[in-house]
Amino acid sequence: MLLHQALELAKKKNFDLVEVAPTAVPPVCRMMDYGKFKYEQAKKEREMRKSQKLSILREIRLRPKIGEHDFEAKTRSVKKLLQDGDKVKITIMFRGREITHANLGWKLLEKMMESLKGTVSIEKQPMMEGSRMFMILTPLAGQQVKAAPGQASKIDDEPNNAKAAVVQPAKAKEEKVEKVKESANA
């Protein structure tokens, strides 16, 4: 079909003539509503962005002389971040002469890996960068992933519970104020 015939036919049907394959011999064109096509493409892109996993790199900092309880608390926070679907960068900061005992940092990272065994994979092996040693961990593929923006969460589905959660702290605050007033009057 000739170009002017195709343009006339597209005008009669209220469509646009879009060149699909310009390098083909003869060039291939298609009749379509181009505005509708662009709208549908944008809609598909938005849907794809919604369904994408949101992965943020979070950092947990440790010192080589960290106490046992503090280490366990940091391990719990790493587990929580991994369950949310985030990547975690564990950094060990050395100060002064501590850098001469880098093996303590290696042992600390090994201990962290041992405590997270089965729930994490190593994205970047432990390495030194200046006076810091770090490694990057990612959650395993089967782990729970945080909801992408725009998706509903449990709190959004149950507005009554959210309101109750807001009202309770306000009541508790009022009760504390009343107790303080009573103690002041006594």
Q: Would you say the CATH fold of 57-139 matches that of 3-51?
A: no
Give the pLDDT of residue 55: 72
Quick check: pTM over 0.75?
Answer: no
pLDDT digits (tens, 9 = 90+) for 161-173: 444 444 455 555 5
> What radius of gyration, in Å, describes the C-alpha atoms of the chain?
30
Q: Which helix (H) or strand (E) holds 29?
A: strand 28-32
Both tokens assigned to 152? 């509903």
pLDDT digits (tens, 9 = 90+) for 83-125: 888 899 999 999 999 989 899 999 999 999 999 888 888 889 9
Computed over every residue of the chain, the mean pLDDT equals: 80
User: Which class is 57-139 in CATH?
Assistant: alpha beta
pLDDT digits (tens, 9 = 90+) for 29-74: 889 898 999 999 999 999 888 877 667 889 999 999 999 999 999 9
Closest CA to 125 of 110, 136, 141, 114: 136
CATH no., domain 3-51: 3.10.20.80
Q: List the chain domain ranges.
A: 3-51, 57-139, 154-185
Give the pLDDT of residue 161: 43
Closest CA to 71 of 87, 82, 80, 60: 60
The share of the chain scoring above pLDDT 70, in percent, equals: 75
